[in-house]
Structure 1
Amino acid sequence: MRVGNDKSLVQSRQPSGTEKRGSVPSPDYTDFHFNTKTAPAMSDEKYKTAIIEQAKKDQAAGKFQSDSAGFRNLVKSYVSAVSPDRKNIISQGLRAIYKNTRQEPKTFNLLDYMFGSVKYSKEANDVSYAEFYDSNGEMVASFSNGRWISYGTKAEDARESQLWGIYNQAWNSAARANGGTSSSIDVTG
Structure 2
Amino acid sequence: MNVNLNSISLQQRKFSGTNSIGGIHLPDFNDKYVFSKKKSNTSNAEYKKQIAEQAYEDFKNGQFQNKSEGFNKLMKKYTSEVSPDRKGIITSGLKAVSRNKQSGLKPIDLLATILEGKVKYQRMPSGQTDYIEFYDKNGEMVATYSNNGWTMYTTNAEAARQTEMCMIYNEAWGNAKRGIPLTDSGSVNSDSLQNAFDVQA
TM range (shorter): 0.7 to 0.9
Aligned to 1:21: 21
2:152 to 137, 142, 150: 150
- Matching of residue 138 in structure 1 with residue 140 in structure 2: yes
Kept in 2: contact 1:11–1:151 (CA 8 A): no
1:129 to 128, 131, 144: 131
Aligned to 2:88: 88
What is the alpha-carbon distance in structure 2 between the residues aligned to residue 34 and residue 11 of structure 1?
Answer: 11
Instruction: Give the TM-score normalised by the residue count of structure 2.
Output: 0.74
Letter in 1 for 2:107: E
What is the alpha-carbon distance in structure 1 between the residues aligned to residue 90 and residue 10 of structure 2?
Answer: 16
- CA-CA distance at 1:18 after TM superposition: 1.8
Kept in 1: contact 2:6–2:159 (CA 8 A): no
Aligned to 1:44: 44
Q: What pairs up with 1:66-85 in 2 under 5 angstroms?
A: 66-85=66-85
> What's the Cα RMSD here?
2.5
Structure with greater Cα Rg? 2
Of stretches 67-76 and 33-42 in structure 1, the one that deviates more from structure 2 is: 33-42
Moved over 6 A (4+): none
Kept in 2: contact 1:10–1:150 (CA 8 A): yes
- CA-CA distance at 1:69 after TM superposition: 1.0
Q: What pairs up with 1:96-111 in 2 under 5 angstroms?
A: 96-100=96-100, 101=103, 102-105=105-108
The percentage of counterpart residues that share the same residue type is 43
- CA-CA distance at 1:79 after TM superposition: 0.3
SS of the aligned residue for 1:29 comes to: coil
Change (3 A) 1:16 1:30: farther
Letter in 1 for 2:58: D
- CA-CA distance at 1:105 after TM superposition: 4.3
Aligned to 1:173: 175
Letter in 1 for 2:29: Y
Aligned to 1:109: none
What is the alpha-carbon distance in structure 1 between the residues aligned to residue 133 and residue 108 of structure 2?
Answer: 16
What is the alpha-carbon distance in structure 1 between the residues aligned to residue 46 and residue 129 of structure 2?
Answer: 43
Any unmatched runs of 5+ in structure 1? 107-117, 179-189
Aligned to 2:63: 63
Change (3 A) 1:3 1:160: closer
Aligned to 1:34: 34
SS of the aligned residue for 2:178 comes to: helix
